[in-house]
Amino acid sequence: MEAIRLALAQINPIAGDLKGNSDLIITYAERASAQGADLVVFPELALSGYHPRDLIASKGFLTSCLAHLKKIYESVPGIPMLVGLPLMESSVTNSAALCFGGAQAGSFGKSHMPGRGLQEEAKYFDPAGELQLMRTGGALIGVNIREDLWYIGGPAEQQCRAGASLIINMSAWPFVSGRTGFAERLVMSFAARCATPVAFVNMAGASDELVFEGGSLVMGADGRLIARARPFVEDLLIVDVPLRETPESINAEPAESADSAESTESIETHFIELPAFTQERQKAALAVRESPEEPLSPEQALYSALATAIVDFTEKGNYKGAMLVLGGGIAPALNAAITVDALGSASVSALVPPGKGEDTARRGAELLGIKCIEITLDMKSPRARGYALMEAADAEGMVALSSITKSDLATGGVTLYGESAGHFAPLKDLWGTDVLLLSKWRNSMGEVIPASVIEPYDKDSPEDEALRILIEEDMGFDEAMQAAGIGPAGLEELFKRIQAAEQLRRQAPPGPRVTPKALGAEWTLPLAGRFRP
My answer on whether 318 and 263 are in the same domain is no
My answer on whether 270 and 302 are in the same domain is no
My answer on whether 315 and 268 are in the same domain is no
What is the dihedral sign for C-alpha 430, 431, 433, 435? positive
Q: Answer yes or no: is pLDDT of 438 > 50.
A: yes
Residue 102: CB partners within 8 Å, gap ≥ 6?
A: 73, 74, 77
Tell me the C-alpha to C-alpha distance, in Å, between residue 15 and each of 89, 171, 318, 351: 21, 15, 14, 32
pLDDT level of residue 457 (50, 70, 90 thresholds)? very high
Nearest to 2 by CA among 243, 192, 262, 164: 243
Question: Using alpha carbons only, how large is the chain's radius of gyration in Å?
Answer: 25
Give the β-pairing of 322-325 and 399-401: parallel
Residues in the chain: 533
Calpha distance 124→138 (Å, rounded) = 36
My answer on whether 266 and 306 are in the same domain is no
Asked whether 151 and 100 are in contact (CB, 8 A), the reply is no
The 3-state secondary structure of 351-399 reads ECCCCCCHHHHHHHHHHHCCEEECCCCCCCCHHHHHHHHHHHHHHHCCE
Q: Report pLDDT digits (tens) over 150-196.
A: 988 899 999 999 999 999 999 999 999 988 889 999 999 999 999 99
Calpha distance 183→161 (Å, rounded) = 22
Q: Could you tell me if residue 453 is inside a domain?
A: yes
The pLDDT value given to residue 378: 67
Count of Cβ atoms closer than 10 Å to residue 465 Cβ: 18
My answer on whether 271 and 336 are in the same domain is no
| CATH code where residue 474 lies | 3.40.50.620
Calpha distance 223→187 (Å, rounded) = 8
My answer on whether 220 and 302 are in the same domain is no
- Name the residue range of residue 115's domain: 3-276
- Residue 532 CA, distance from chain mean position: 35
Residue type, 87: L
Torsion, Cα of 85, 88, 91, 95 (10° steps): -20
Q: Could you tell me if residue 523 is inside a domain?
A: no
| CATH code where residue 242 lies | 3.60.110.10
Q: Could you tell me if residue 512 is inside a domain?
A: no
Helix (H, G, I), strand (E, B) or coil at 479: helix
Q: Report pLDDT digits (tens) over 117-153.
A: 888 999 999 998 788 899 988 889 999 999 999 988 8
Asked whether 95 and 109 are in contact (CB, 8 A), the reply is yes
Residue 431: CB partners within 8 Å, gap ≥ 6?
A: 405, 406, 407, 461, 464, 467, 468
Q: Could you tell me what percent of the chain has a pLDDT over 70?
A: 92
Asked whether 320 and 396 are in contact (CB, 8 A), the reply is yes
> Which of 215, 242, 276 lies at the terminal end of a domain, its last residue?
276
Its pTM stands at: 0.92
Nearest to 435 by CA among 330, 365, 512: 330
Average pLDDT, the chain: 90
Q: Report pLDDT digits (tens) over 367-405.
A: 999 999 877 666 678 898 899 999 999 999 999 999 999
Residue 35: CB partners within 8 Å, gap ≥ 6?
A: 7, 238, 282, 285, 286, 287
My answer on whether 322 and 397 are in the same domain is yes
10 Å CB burial of residue 469 (0-12, 13-18, 19+) is: buried
The pair phi, psi for residue 130, each rounded to 5°, is -150, 155
The pLDDT value given to residue 290: 55
My answer on whether 157 and 105 are in the same domain is yes
Asked whether 42 and 201 are in contact (CB, 8 A), the reply is yes
My answer on whether 209 and 270 are in the same domain is yes
Peptide bond between residue 51 and the one before it cis (omega within 30 degrees of 0): yes
Long-range contacts of range 378-383, CB-CB < 8 Å, 24 or more positions apart? 379/351, 379/353, 379/354, 380/353, 380/355, 381/415, 381/418, 382/414, 382/415, 382/418, 382/419, 383/415, 383/417, 383/418, 383/421
Asked whether 158 and 264 are in contact (CB, 8 A), the reply is yes
My answer on whether 270 and 377 are in the same domain is no
Q: Could you tell me if residue 529 is inside a domain?
A: no
First to last CA, the chain: 64
Q: Report pLDDT digits (tens) over 239-298.
A: 999 998 755 444 434 334 444 444 434 456 778 888 776 555 444 445 556 567 788 999
Calpha distance 39→46 (Å, rounded) = 16
Q: Structural domain tally of the chain?
A: 2
Q: Report pLDDT digits (tens) over 477-487.
A: 888 888 888 88
DSSP conformation letters of 290-316: SSPPPPPPHHHHHHHHHHHHHHHHHHH
Residue type, 401: L
Nearest to 338 by CA among 472, 428, 275, 267: 428
My answer on whether 386 and 428 are in the same domain is yes
Q: Could you tell me if residue 517 is inside a domain?
A: no
Count of Cβ atoms closer than 10 Å to residue 125 Cβ: 20
My answer on whether 255 and 352 are in the same domain is no
